[in-house]
Amino acid sequence: RMNKEQAKSRGDRVPGHEPCGIIDIIGHGVKKVKEGDRVTVYHYLGCGHCDQCASGNLMWCREARGYGGPVDGSHADYVIADERNCVPIPDSVSFIDGAFIACPGGTAFSSMKKLDVKAGNTVAVFGLGPVGLSGVAIAKAMGGKVIGIDILDLRLDLAKSIGADEVVNAKNDNPVDAIRNFTNGKGAMLAFEASGSTQGRTDIIHSLSRGGKAVFVGVGSNENVINPSQIIGSQLTLMGSFVLPLWLTWEMVGFVNSQKVSFEKAVTHRFSIDDAPLAYKIFDEGQTGKAVFEWN
Ligand SMILES: [Zn+2]
Ligand SMILES: [Zn+2]
């Protein structure tokens, strides 16, 4: 989600970086996908030749360009996509779940892979927007015991419906104390920071158990909150994570399909593209779960 200044800086481009749909027409030389294929579209274009592109990390290509800016994106009836970016999805994976795979779900999946969630691990998820809610669903499917933290009751309710075992409203309760209570004083083995807030980042450090691991994906605050002295005694591991590599998109389609994961419970608003001005207005108020455009 971009703020207004970021959106303006992208100029006169079609927004939308979470595309999923049906291939309508293929261009000259396209061999691996065909008309009628259902695909999720990886949202960074790379040069296709460099070391990062060769390893599937198109988001790190020095010529990386994202759909929705600077490349025209998917809030439109049609989007032009590179063949290599089109990852097939089976009929059992919905277009909405495919759109989640393209960005918020993919971002969460890449993070949960870094955390290496094992059955029975406690996973604290800070910030329950679309990325955090996706993290709840994925951590649950990996066997985690999930605690969701946010300051909006709507989002806590969505977290419960998508699989959280416990939720904490950080406006009313201290999340560090709540996490310690849920874990018999030990703290969470794993944590996922999707709020981008100073408070969320600070609380994470104090919520982890000895030997705990945290991954940070939420951007926002620029305050320095991490003091290395605090991670030494408990041997904490802190990591950053940014979207997902193209190769992991393929793995995630298989994971979502085989584990029957769905992110649709995070969706609170569905719009036709004709209602885009209203959709942007409602979404901008920040009181929604995931809002999506649908085509029939
Ligand atoms: Zn490249
Ligand atoms: Zn996104």
Residue 74 has pLDDT above 60, yes or no: yes
SS3 216: strand
For residue 292, pLDDT over 70 is answered with yes
- Residue 211 Cα, ligand 2 centroid: separation in angstroms? 31
Distance of CA 61 to the CA centre of its chain: 20
> Using an 8 Å Cβ cutoff, are 39 and 99 in contact?
no
pLDDT, position 10: 67
Q: How far is the CA of 34 from the centre of ligand 1 (A)?
A: 24
Tell how far the Cα of 53 is from the centroid of ligand 2, in angstroms.
20
Share of the chain above pLDDT 70, in %: 98
Confidence at residue 226, expressed as pLDDT on a 0 to 100 scale:
86
For residue 3, name the pLDDT band (cuts at 50, 70, 90): low
Between residues 294 and 68, which one has the greater pLDDT?
294
Question: What is the pLDDT of the chain when averaged over all its residues?
Answer: 95
pLDDT above 90 as % of the chain: 90
The first and second tokens of residue 235, run together, are 């041997």
pLDDT above 70 (res 112): yes
Question: What confidence tens digit (pLDDT) does each residue in 148-186 have?
Answer: 999 999 999 999 999 999 999 999 999 999 999 999 999
Structural domains of the chain, with CATH: 4-103+244-293 (3.90.180.10), 108-240 (3.40.50.720)
More confident residue, 37 or 220: 37
Give me the mean pLDDT over the 209-216 stretch: 98
Task: Judge whether residue 11 has pLDDT over 80.
Answer: no
Q: ipTM value of the model? A: 0.96
- Rounded average pLDDT over 120-148: 98
Alpha helices in 44-152 (DSSP H): 51-54, 95-102, 104-115, 130-141
Residue 118 is encoded by which pair of tokens?
């094992």
Kindly tell me the burial class for residue 201, based on how many C-beta atoms sit within 10 Å of its own C-beta (0-12, 13-18, 19 or more): buried
Tell me the CA–centroid distance for residue 3 and ligand 2, in Å: 13
Residues 76-108, buried b or exposed e (16+ Cβ, 10 A)? eeebebbebbbbebeeebbbbbbbbbbbbbbbb
Tell me how far apart the alpha carbons of residues 279 and 209 are, in angstroms, rounded to a whole number. Answer: 41
Distance 43 CA to ligand 1 centre (A): 14
Q: How far is the CA of 105 from the centre of ligand 2 (A)?
A: 9
